Amino acid sequence: MNKHRPKHLALHLIKLPLPGFVSVLHRISGLLLFLALPLLLLMLQYSLRSIETYTQLLAVLAHPLAKLMLLGVLWAFLHHFCAGLRYLAIDLDYGVKLAQARASSKAVLAVSLVLTVLLGAKLW
Amino acid sequence: MVSRVVVGAHYGLRDWLIQRITAVVMALYSVVLAGYLLLQPRLDYDVWTGLFSGQPMRTFTLLFLLSVLYHAWIGIRDIVMDYVKPAGVRLAIHVQVILVSLLYAIWAVQILWGF
C-alpha cells in the first residue's frame, strides 16, 4: 500500500454539498451543547433549589447577553434535534436518494432556524 | 458470499446502536417536556418544582441526562478520532470528557434529589 497518498484537504477550497454542511453543523452543535452542559445544570440547580435562587436565576437570565447565549443554545439544540431525526430516518432507509437527502438537509436548516425564532419569541 | 476477516475491537456497532437508542430517549423526553411546559397557562416556581418533585419525573430526567452523557461521549470521541491525531492529546481529552461526565452525573443526582 502506498503510505504517501496525496491529501487534498484545503478546507477553504472545499465546497461542501448541503448534506455535508448539515453534518458539520451537527458536530458543531453537539459539541456546543456538551460545552454548555455545566451552565445548563447550574441553571437547573438554581431553578429548583429555592424560591430565592429561582428569582436570582430569572434576574440573571433577563440580561440581554444571557438571552443571546440561551438563544444560541436553543439553536444548537434544535439543529442537533432536527438533524438527528434526519439521521435516524436515513438509518431506517428513508430519504436515502440524493434528491431527498438534499431536500431533507434544507428542511433541517430551515425548520431549526424557524423553531429557534418562534420559541425564542415565545420565551421573550 | 463474501468472506472477510473482521478486525478491530468490535465496539463500533455497539456504540453506533447506543448513540441511536439514547437519541430516541432524549427526543421523547424533550418533546414531552417542551409540550408540557408550552401548555402551562402560567409557569412559576411552584409549578416548576411541582413538576420535578415526583419520583417518575426525577427518574426520567436522570435517564435523560445519563443518555445525554453517554451520547455525547460517543460523539466527542468520534470527533476527536477524526481531528486530533497526537495520541497524548487524544488520551487527555478522552480522560477529561469521561471524568467530567461522571461528575455531571453525580451532580445531576444531587440536583434532582436535593431540593
Domain CATH code at residue B87 = 1.20.1300.10
pLDDT-derived band at A1, boundaries 50, 70, 90: low
pTM above 0.80, yes or no: yes
Using an 8 Å CB-CB cutoff, list chain A residues near B30: 77, 81
Mean pLDDT of B61-67: 98
pLDDT-derived band at B102, boundaries 50, 70, 90: very high
Which percentage of chain A shows pLDDT scores above 70? 94
Q: Indicate whether B71 belongs to any domain.
A: yes
Task: Kindly tell me if the per-residue pLDDT of B58 is higher than 60.
Answer: yes
C-alpha cell at A102: 438534499
Q: Indicate whether B1 belongs to any domain.
A: no
pLDDT-derived band at A6, boundaries 50, 70, 90: low
How many domains does chain B fold into?
Answer: 1
Task: Kindly tell me if the per-residue pLDDT of B8 is higher than 90.
Answer: no
Domain that holds residue B25: 12-112
Using an 8 Å CB-CB cutoff, list chain B residues near A48: 48-49, 52, 111-112, 115
Around B48, how many Cα atoms within 13 Å sit in the side-chain half-sphere? 17
Q: Which domains does chain A have, with CATH numbers?
A: 18-123 (1.20.1300.10)
CA distance A95 to B110: 43
Q: Indicate whether B68 belongs to any domain.
A: yes
Task: Kindly tell me if the per-residue pLDDT of A80 is higher than 80.
Answer: yes
Q: Indicate whether B89 belongs to any domain.
A: yes
Quick one: pLDDT at residue B5?
77
pLDDT-derived band at B110, boundaries 50, 70, 90: very high
Q: Indicate whether B84 belongs to any domain.
A: yes
Q: Indicate whether B2 belongs to any domain.
A: no
Subunit contact A84:B108, Cβ cutoff 8 A: no
Q: What is the DSSP string of chain A?
A: --SS------TTT----HHHHHHHHHHHHHHHHHHHHHHHHHHHHHHHH-HHHHHHHHHHHTSHHHHHHHHHHHHHHHHHHHHHHHHHHHHTTSS-SHHHHHHHHHHHHHHHHHHHHHHHHHH-
Q: Indicate whether B34 belongs to any domain.
A: yes
Write the residue in B27, B72, B107 that is nearest to A30 by C-beta: B72
Regarding an ipTM greater than 0.95, the answer is no
Q: Indicate whether B78 belongs to any domain.
A: yes
pLDDT-derived band at A11, boundaries 50, 70, 90: confident
Subunit contact A49:B114, Cβ cutoff 8 A: yes
Euclidean distance between the first and final Cα of chain A, in Å? Answer: 59
Residues 6+ apart with CB under 8 A from B20: A88, A91
CA distance A46 to A36: 16
- The continuous run of DSSP H or E covering B107 comes out as helix B87-112
- Interface contact A28, partner B, CB < 8 A: no
